[in-house]
Amino acid sequence: MRVLITGGAGFIGSHLAEEYLKKGDEVYIIDDLSTGTLNNIKHLQENEVFKNRIFIHIDTILSTSPLLELTGTCDVVFHLAAAVGVRYILKNPMKSIKINIQGTENVLKTCAKFKKNLLITSSSEVYGKHLHAPLLETDNIIYGPSSKFRWSYAASKLMDEFSALAYFRTVGLKTIIARLFNTVGPRQTGAYGMVIPRFIQQALSNEPITVYGSGTQSRTFTYVKDVVQALTALMENGAAPGEVFNIGGTEEITILDLAEKIIKKTGSQSSIKMIPYEEAFEKDFEDMMRRVPGIEKIKELTGFEPKTNLDTILEYVIDDMKRY
């Protein structure tokens, strides 16, 4: 099989590419290297078994010609190319909205033209400001005002979902929507805000761990290889198109407890530094205080459940960061 992955040089995309290469498939990547990097796929390009089956096209999904060419020759498409990370989105608001809205429209239009099955990665951000748990795919959505730019990301991802569902309903495009909750693992960078690589890097260099706000905000974390299993299981399932699925871990932890856990696990001398949101971000920043997925829907359809608990995820990432 030929698999096209937009954003395949990104953190999650590169793990997905590896999975399909291991299965014996050919992997085609379109990536503009805005947040992705060739380092993420170097080990695949240098691997004797994989190197003749991985092809990278460095371009943006905003230009249609590589999309047309590659979608035409591939069997399935995973659309992962998007703006990522709260910090990146706040710094690049126009670019982020454009890539999410216009880029996704290009992918949808091209997949519809060639009648190719498509999986679009959305985000738990679309749920907005809920405090209840678990978050279900059928829940209402609550956003802050448009002056608070964080919500532009949520709104653009939600538009992607509406567009994908519209293509499914009107022209029968087989599109699956995966709402990814905080995904972590080797090769994820802390440069765009992601908390686990940031905390581990700070702990390993004995610098203060920067906890934003009160630290009582909570998250669940999913190991990237578990996420990849969920994505491939959905793509293989004939009943998944036209549906939205949460993919995430269920072990909730506050950010302050996470900081303490990481200090303990790394044996670090780091202290914890509480930083008000106004100092960490621009004045209009608003955090999501809680984010726990309900995963019954994907479990019922595919049997998927995350296998890697938080302690193990942290051990893998600490080990990876120590080596690299």
Give the catalytic positions in this structure.
Answer: 153
| Residue found by looking up tokens 């994505």 in the block | 231
Residue type, 46: E
| 298, two tokens | 């994907």
Q: Which residue has the tokens 């953190």?
A: 11
- Residues 15-74 within binding reach of ligand UDP (CB under 6 A): none
3 touching ligand UDP, by CB under 6 A? no
288: tokens are 């999501």
Alpha carbons 92 and 226: distance in angstroms, whole number: 30
Chain centre distance of CA 218: 18
Site for ligand UDP in 109-148 (CB under 6 A): none
Which residue, among 40, 33, 34, 32, has the nearest Cα to 11 in the 3D structure? 40
DSSP for residue 102: I
Is 193 a binding residue for ligand UDP by CB under 6 A? The answer is yes
Query: Mask 79-108, x = binds ligand UDP (CB under 6 A)?
Result: -------x----------------------
Taking CB under 6 A as the criterion, the residue among 88, 168, 212, 245 binding ligand UDP is: 212
Which positions from 279 to 308 touch ligand UDP by CB under 6 A, shown as an x/- string? --------x---------------------
Q: Toward ligand UDP, which CB reaches closer, 118 or 211? A: 211
Among 217, 237, 250, 309, binds ligand UDP (CB under 6 A): 217
Element containing residue 118 per DSSP (H, E):
strand 117-123
Binder among 37, 201, 210, 254 for ligand UDP (CB under 6 A): 210
SS (H, E, C) 277-322: HHHHCCCCCCCCCCCCECCHHHHHHHCCCCCCCHHHHHHHHHHHHH
Residue 154 CB, nearest approach to ligand UDP (Å): 10
For residue 198, state whether it binds ligand UDP (rule: CB under 6 A): yes
255 binds ligand UDP (CB under 6 A): yes
Q: How many of the other CB atoms lie within 10 Å of CB of 320?
A: 15
Identity of the residue, 71 or 123, whose beta carbon is nearer to ligand UDP in the bound complex: 123
At its nearest, how many Å lie between ligand UDP and the CB of residue 321?
Answer: 15
Query: Tokens standing for 293?
Result: 């997925």
